[in-house]
């Protein structure tokens, strides 16, 4: 009895010390989000330590974010101007998919801005009769027109983190981690230890009581956050929580990445991530102010490294010439696509690549880090006694998020008309399609995706499904509306289509190019909010 009491007393102790292992984007974003919300610098009851190995480099790729990053940085008290300057960042307004429906130059946009009218009217249904004359993205928002012209999403006079259209960022991943690290240490009261975790001390009921490090000895804590990337030192190696592999759905497991300088300093900076389909994968092309980050993601089961390198050179020849393309030395990255069977186990939770990784299509990794850290921060268990309940909910939520992401990424492949290689034939084989996606596609043959299709754990808004479906040439044959309702809706839709045309011409006339705005930020700042 006395023993039980002492356990419950121990369990009811307030959670005081959080130890994050890993100093990549996952470690520092998680530290920043928790420290800002829990006023760690004011010694408000929570101590936060980040341990970063001097022996294991950060992954150093991962250059596209979602618009959510604006809110994350704002909450952490970061200045947008400083962030753009120090992380070599540019503006990302979505993705441009080239050659995904069939090989060639044909493209479509998946912009970040939602269609005009948003939740009030489903514009896609009214666009369908005009599908042969205007693309869906062009009809419903200004952003594809801005991206065609390399325009920025805002002006120099627009306040920090605000935009004329929705936007995220392209950034230098290495500089981003360093920027976050400095901010967390200098402004948010986070303690930083450069040390390698070599082992784990287990406490009561299998909890981690302390980490064993090379230099600082034992580091104890109440909650341990595993941000160790592919090492997955705590959740994978220590707790042996298996990876739920997804290579039967999303085949890509490798990438060759390079950094390409601009041929001249005035070269336009793309407003979108360019994603160009290849025979056995796709190439990303991300424009930063000083260079482009380019990489070929591929399935090692469908092709060889030398074939991929050859494709990458051919792709680059168009922009940098044959001689420069012949000289590139790509860096190879390999991964097993999947996510952990559990993210939170005992007093340990994994965030970032330690929790899982699937290919970088639609840049879902950083946003999952933001969402995981935000959830941990908002639902930080008061003590160990209630932690298992929080863990169970966290695990259910994020397993659902991963599954929805996987379905959305697979959507890009299954709609393709490409059957020219084994890779595309395998992707379009219905047996490789998750059931949830198959059901959605059945429905969408007769009804246009909208808010009613969005399941609780969805990461992408319904508009994203529309942009990809109709960008890829999918057809929906909706049931006709009763005549009176149809006329009222058609009138409202026409007003919104006209509104888009007006907004587009105002935006095109007034927004600067990315290159111009970013160069001005060397000298001027966005107005602080
Ligand atoms: C090809 C590719 C392209 C990508 N593109 C995108 C993209 O466009 N957008 C996007 O959102 N994401 C992208 N990602 C994912 C993105 O790079 C990662 O999600 C992000 O960088 C976070 O990585 P991380 O912090 O989890 O891991 P890492 O950056 O690998 O950091 C791991 C940290 O753990 C530390 N560590 C490891 N072992 C120990 C130990 N024993 N003791 C102490 N410390 C330890 C290391 O020192 C390091 O600091 C991409 C990934 C790949 C592979």
Distance 25 CA to ligand 1 centre (A): 6
What is the model's pLDDT at position 8?
53
Position 356 in a domain: yes
50 lines ligand 1 (CB under 6 A): no
Cβ(256)–Cβ(332) below 8 Å: yes
- pLDDT averaged per 10 residues, the chain (length 529): 47 92 98 97 94 96 95 97 97 98 94 90 93 96 97 96 97 97 98 98 94 98 98 98 98 97 92 98 97 97 98 96 95 98 98 98 97 98 95 98 97 96 96 95 92 85 96 87 75 95 97 96 83
pTM of the entire structure? 0.96
What is the model's pLDDT at position 9?
52
Closest by CA position to 277, among listed 96, 99, 472, 473: 99
What is the model's pLDDT at position 481?
61
What is the model's pLDDT at position 1?
40
Atom of ligand 1 nearest to the CA of 61: 17
355 lines ligand 1 (CB under 6 A): no
Distance 60 CA to ligand 1 centre (A): 7
Distance 287 CA to ligand 1 centre (A): 20
User: Total domain count for the chain?
Assistant: 1
363 lines ligand 1 (CB under 6 A): yes
Position 502 in a domain: no
365 lines ligand 1 (CB under 6 A): yes
Residue whose CA lies nearest to ligand 1 atom number 5: 62
Cβ(364)–Cβ(358) below 8 Å: yes
Position 113 in a domain: no
233 lines ligand 1 (CB under 6 A): yes
Position 389 in a domain: yes
Position 361 in a domain: yes
**Residue 380 maps to which CATH number?**
3.50.50.60
Atom of ligand 1 nearest to the CA of 364: 11
**Tokens representing residue 386 in the block:** 């209630």
Position 257 in a domain: no
333 contacts: CB under 8 Å, gap ≥ 6: 59, 61, 254, 255, 256, 257
In this structure, what is the dihedral angle of CA atoms 98, 102, 105, 108, given to the nearest 10 degrees?
Answer: -40
**Which ranges of 12-142 does DSSP label H, i.e. alpha helix?**
25-37, 68-75, 80-86, 123-127, 136-140
Position 386 in a domain: yes
264/520 Cα distance (integer angstroms): 18
Position 399 in a domain: yes
What is the model's pLDDT at position 457?
86
What is the model's pLDDT at position 482?
62
Domain enclosing residue 231, as ranges: 13-63+172-247+337-404
């Amino acid at each position: 009895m006395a023993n039980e009491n002492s356990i419950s007393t121990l369990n009811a102790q307030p959670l005081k010390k959080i130890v994050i292992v890993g100093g990549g984007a996952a470690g520092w974003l998680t530290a920043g989000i928790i420290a800002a919300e829990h006023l760690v610098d004011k010694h408000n009851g929570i101590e936060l330590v980040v341990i970063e190995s001097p022996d294991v480099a950060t992954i150093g790729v991962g250059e596209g974010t979602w618009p959510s990053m604006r809110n994350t940085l704002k909450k952490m008290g970061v200045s947008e101007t400083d962030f753009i300057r120090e992380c070599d960042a540019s503006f990302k307004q979505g993705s441009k998919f080239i050659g995904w429906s069939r090989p060639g130059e044909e493209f479509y946009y998946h912009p970040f801005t939602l269609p005009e009218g948003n939740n009030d009217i489903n514009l896609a249904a009214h666009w369908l009769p005009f599908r042969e004359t205007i693309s869906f993205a062009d009809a419903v928002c200004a952003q594809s027109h801005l991206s065609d012209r390399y325009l920025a999403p805002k002006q120099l006079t627009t306040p920090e983190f605000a935009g004329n259209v929705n936007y995220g960022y392209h950034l230098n991943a290495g500089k981003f981690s360093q920027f976050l690290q400095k901010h967390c240490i200098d402004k948010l009261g986070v303690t930083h230890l450069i040390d390698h975790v070599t082992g784990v001390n287990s406490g009561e009921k299998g909890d981690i009581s302390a980490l064993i490090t090379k230099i600082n000895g034992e580091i104890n804590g109440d909650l341990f956050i595993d941000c160790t990337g592919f090492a997955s030192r705590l959740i994978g190696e220590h707790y042996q929580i298996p990876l739920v592999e997804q290579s039967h759905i999303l085949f890509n497991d490798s990438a060759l990445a390079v950094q390409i300088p601009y041929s001249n300093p005035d070269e336009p900076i793309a407003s979108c991530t360019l994603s160009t389909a290849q025979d056995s994968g796709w190439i990303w092309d991300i424009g930063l102010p000083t260079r482009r980050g380019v990489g070929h993601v591929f399935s090692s089961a469908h092709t060889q490294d030398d074939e991929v390198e050859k494709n990458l050179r051919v792709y680059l020849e168009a922009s940098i010439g044959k001689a420069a393309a012949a000289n590139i030395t790509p860096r190879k990255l390999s991964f097993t696509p999947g996510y952990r069977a559990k993210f939170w186990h005992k007093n340990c939770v994994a965030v970032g690549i330690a929790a899982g990784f699937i290919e970088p299509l639609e840049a879902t990794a950083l946003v999952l880090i933001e969402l995981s850290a935000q959830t941990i921060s908002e639902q930080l268990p008061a003590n160990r006694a209630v932690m298992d309940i929080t863990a169970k909910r966290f695990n259910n939520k994020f397993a659902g998020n991963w599954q929805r992401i996987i379905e959305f990424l697979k959507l890009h492949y299954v709609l393709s008309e490409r059957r020219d290689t084994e890779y595309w034939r395998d992707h379009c084989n219905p047996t490789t399609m998750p059931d949830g996606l198959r059901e959605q596609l059945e429905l969408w043959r007769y009804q246009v995706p909208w808010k009613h299709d969005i399941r609780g754990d969805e990461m992408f808004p319904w508009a994203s499904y529309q942009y990809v479906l109709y960008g890829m040439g999918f057809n929906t044959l909706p049931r006709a509306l009763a005549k009176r309702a149809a006329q009222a809706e058609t009138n409202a839709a026409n007003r919104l289509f006209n509104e888009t045309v007006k907004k587009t011409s105002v935006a095109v006339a007034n927004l600067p190019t990315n290159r111009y705005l970013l160069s001005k930020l060397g000298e001027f700042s966005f107005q602080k909010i």
